Structure 1
């Protein structure tokens, strides 16, 4: 592997996902960012509650998925260009990781559990590892 470029953001990055149009999505604090692969910031969205922390991002079905914790917990579904919110799903747990599925669905992890949700927020299935001290983190496809 060779590094092709490096861009200084000036903030800590909690999550990063590749977009579909030579762009990248970053999560940091209560903000979501869209950058071009040339390092140019294309869009920033700031959630009005500073108690929200965006933890992870994923791209699926032409949408940006972003997990959040803090004063609320769950994931949001947003427009890839404008970062406007289409909908959100609240969860009773902090999400460790998120990845898009292959059927307009999403997989998330939390503590010792894995969940499968529709993009409309309906839980399809879940799996619990019997060892409670196991903590699932980030996910990839």
Structure 2
């Protein structure tokens, strides 16, 4: 093995590592706000940078969303299935929490607070086997 081969191999590995890091950082780009909608109507928009608790009370239903350390999650809900509480923390642009019985959606907005129309059109509306 020649010295030039070792240098070439090291250069290729370094470039591959840089490309991997760039792809990883852009794919997991975090948003900076969440938007809560109830039955299709915007309830509010909240910063992920401020730790807070949002309580949504409509008629006989109750949801509590907690924002902590740059992520949001459903802390408590009085829906019959409780599935929204099991959906975990969200902080990425395409992540959502949905409470179907209460028609409540928590979604992360992109950095500018507006969805990119082209990105939304390119995303699948359903996934099936």
TM-score (norm 1): 0.28
Structure 1 or 2: larger strand share?
1
TM-score (norm 2): 0.30
Larger radius of gyration: 2
Larger RCO, structures 1/2 (Cα 8 Å, 6+ apart): 2
Structure 1 or 2: larger helix share?
2
